[in-house]
Structures are given as structure tokens and as C-alpha cells.
Structure 1
Amino acid sequence: MNLATHPVFVSLTPVFLLIGAGYLAGRLSWIRESAVRDLSNLVFLLLIPALLFRTMSAVHVEALDLRPLMAYFPAALAVLAITIAWRGFNRASVVMAMGSVFSNLVMIGITLVELAYGKQALVTLLTVVSVHALTLLTVGSVVLELVVAREARAGGEASPHILQTAWSAFKGALIHPIPLPILSGLAFAQTGWSLPMVVDKPLQLLGSAFGPISLVLVGVTLARTPLQGHWRDALWICAVKNLVMPLAVGLLAWTLGITGLPLTVLVVAAAMPMGANVFLFAQRYNVAQGLTTAAMGLSTGLALFSVSLVMLLMGWLNPL
């Protein structure tokens, strides 16, 4: 098969060209630091909700396959637990472990999966996305608060109750511009109504703008990501995130009898580079901020090769 027409090449090239364009714009300061936050707000508060709501507004609950959730999250939590145990029960260890399992399913994953596998694949991906942050951010928050509580007890200080922490994390992850429009769109679909054209068309246009703007924004962020002094630990995080994570998800999904397009989407989703939300943990708990930023940038850069490899292997092992 001609490389220029190979499905993996055809779907990956636009994604990484747009990231490269954003990187160039960032290096040349065409998009200033002060504008990045505004662009991020535009993507997360307007474009993503429009895309997610419109996509899920035509999906009926009885058509959803929830088995992918039973494959993705137990595998992710197992990798999380093993990496924490490997590095030790401390703040830096938990943040690094979160970086090893938290995928960039939205900014990169949605566009890539749709380009590579079509609209039907988005239903499987968005099923995972709907509870991705809710599950992993809640677990990460609780584990980090347990670490903080242990440190507080060791220093003779009082610490908040673990149930209070869990509830706060759950609410923060649920009332969020990603799971909320997915659940709202799914609820709308169950009414049997269709979106009026005057509503559907603006949502379609906003959703179409999401892909290119979000990928350019990823590139701009990479242009401002320092890697000095963090190569060794960042490479370990990237190895687990980009390679071990998709292997773990793929093996569990195969064990559960998941095949075909859902299996491929799950493995490719797990192979996505590290998501930016991990930096929020590093920032909040004042630990490993430089390492987290470096690992995120390196994971995204290496994804050009690792995601290509995963997609090629899945095309060979699990032909659609």
C-alpha cells in the first residue's frame, strides 16, 4: 500500500501538522502567552461542549456498549496503583502515576479517532470520555489527599475527612465542560426529539472549529514547554503512558471479549499522550510541576511515533 494513502498516515498527518503549526506560532510568538488562556477557555467552555452535546444528542442509551468502561478503567487504575507502589506513597509519586494513565482524549483523541475511524468510533470514545475525568481525577484527588493527611498526621496537624475530599472531587469532575454536555446530550436523545436546524447548525459549526483550534493550541503549549533537567523521569512516564497503558487496556478488553472497532478505539485512546489535567494536580499540591510539564510535552512529541505504531499494530491484529 502507498504510504501517502495508508489510513494511519492519512489520519495522523493532519493532526500533527496542526500541532506543528501551533508549535511554530508559539515559537514565533504569533500567539502570546496572555492569549493562550483565552483560547483554552474558548475551546473548553464553548467548542468542546457544542461538539459533545451534538454528538451525543442522537445516541440512545440502549445502543451504548458499556463494556469498554469495564476494560479501560480497571486497567488504568491497575497501572496507577502499580506505578505508585513502584515509586512510593508520596505526592510526587502520585502525580507521576497520574501522568502515566491520564490520556489526552479530548484535545487530540477526538479529532484523531474521528479522522481514522469515523463517527461511529466517536460513540465508543465519548463513552469513555464521559467518565474519564470523573473517575481518574476523583481517584487521584482522594489518593493525594490521603498522602497529605498522612503528612499532616506525621506533623501533628489536622486534616480534612477523606469523604469530604472525595465528594468535593466528585462534584468538581462532574460539573465540568466535558462530562456535563455528554450527559446532557444523552439525556436529550432519550426524549426522541431532534435538534431544530437553527440550533443544530450553529452547534455543528462550533464543533467543526474545535479540532483545528485545539490542536494548534496543543502546539502553542508545547512551544513553551521546557524539558531541561527532567529527561530521565519524563521518559519513564512517557514509556508507561504511551506504551504500557494501551497494552494493559488492550489485554483486558480482549479478555472481556471486546473486538472490532470498540477494541481498536480503546487501545488507541489509551495510547494518547498525557493530558494537561495532570499539571493541575502538580500545581495544586506544589510538587513535580517542571517534571509534569516536561513529561506532557515529551509524551505528545513521542506520540507521533507511538500512536502510529499502536494504530498499525491494531490494524494488523484487529482488522476492521
Structure 2
Amino acid sequence: MDRKERQQRRAVKPPESERDLGLDRHHSARIYDYFLGGRTNFPPDREVAEKLLAAFPGFRIAARTNRAFMHRAARYLADRGVHQFLDIGTGIPTSPNLHEVVQALVPSARVVYADNDPIVLAHARALLTGSPEGRTAYVDADITEPASILGSQQVKDTLDMSRPIALCVVGLLHYITDEHDAHGIMRRLVSAMPSGSYVVVSHCTPDFAPEQWEEAINVYRADGGDAQVRSRDEFARFFEGLELVEPGIEVPHRWHPDLGTTDVRTIADTREAGEHGESGDTTDALVSVWAGVALKP
């Protein structure tokens, strides 16, 4: 590493906090990046990703449909006066990022990203280039320790906790098993949000293709990963005490599909999908994700 590279890394994270990037083993954020067609992934990520695609061919469509849902939900909330966003499980920056979506509508919007992946940290500067009027920040923290996010200086300096916030936990909770109390984590996060806030959540489900998902989870665990897909009823528990926005819990491509997000078949190129065994149609079974947005009264 030359001097310039060392200076760049220090600008992101102090030397005493530098961590192994883990490029010799797969990581969920980089696998997701591969499904999105990104370039921040490496041989171990691609190897596991292809095994997962063999078990469940819809992963690419699911990832891209999920991301399109996040963009629509962000626009929906920004249009309704929510101008603060806390995005946990940010993932590797892929334009348009959340702050680009909401600050295009509300230049003064404020966005805090949180993730615990060292690769995401290494790219965090791409998440901090918001509009001149707005604010963006990045927290290097783990969702399994909600206090490390909520009590961070970045959250305190960027978000006004007396005003509504959109808490976004999109495509993350299926990596938090019952052993780590995913529902309890969400309750703690939601309890810290002021009245009038919203919660945006999506989660992989076995409801539409149970045999394929059982195989996919077994493949992921065999390679050292940990994940837990959940049924609609289990997913609904993340919204306990909240008021679901219409149409309620839905597959993401059916959640307000007219809010200006590019159709998923444009995002997930039909030719590419066909080459990887996908049908070319966005079916509930190929997506296999539940999504929802809810208001905290």
C-alpha cells in the first residue's frame, strides 16, 4: 500500500480501528452486490453466489426488486414530509443510494447509514457526498447492538430525534437469527423513534418456494454463513404496535409500483436473467420477499 492509499484509509477509519477486509471469504454484502450486478465482490463471494443461484434461481430478481422497493418507499415517505432517514444494513454503495433518492426530492433531507462490514466502511465516503443543503453520515456499528447505533455521535449530530424518522431495515433481518432475537432488536430500535416515524422493512421468505429456500439456506450455512428466512406471520411481528401503510404486507414489486421506480425487468436485464435460469417474469416465487412500511403512532 503506498502513501496515498494509507492516507485515504485513514480518512475513513483511524489506523487503530482498521479491520481485516475478509477478501478470502464470502460476505453477505458482497454477495448482494454480485446479485445487483456490482463490481465490489471477489471469488469467494461469486462462488457462494453461484451455489445459491443453483438452489434458488430468483436471487438476482429478488435483490433488484428489493432495492427498487427501498427507492419507492423512500420517495413515498419523502413526499409525505419525512426528511430524516436511518438506514441500517446499508450494504455496498450502489447508485442511486438512499440519500440520492430522497435529496433529489428534498435537498435538505438528512440520512444516516449504519453497517458493520469493513468493505462498506472502506467505501463509506461514497455515502457522504450528499446535497449541499442536506446532511449524510455513516456509523460503523452492528444492528445486534442497537445502542451502538442509536447512541452514536453521528446519529446525535445528524438526526433530530424529536422529529419523525424513517427507520429502514431493508434486506437485513434474514441474517439475524432467532438466537440473536431479531424481533427484540427491532422493538428496541422502534422504541427510540419519535411518534410519527415510519419503519421500512423487507425480508426473504420461504412461503412461495419452501423446498428451494430450504436448499438455499443449507447451502449458505454449509459455506459458513448464517441466515433465517421467515413466514408472513413471523415477518408481521416486526410491525407489532405500528400502523401498516396500504397495501400492508406485500411482495415488494406490488408495493406502490407506480412511484417512479424503473420496472424490475429493466433493472434485472431479461437476457442476463435467462442465462442464469430465471424465467424472465417477476413472479412472487422468484422474488420470495415480504415488504412493508408502517407508521409509529
More strand by share: 2
- The structure with the larger Rg is 1
Q: Give the TM-score normalised by structure 1.
A: 0.24
Which structure: greater helix fraction? Answer: 1
Normalising to structure 2: TM-score of the pair?
0.26
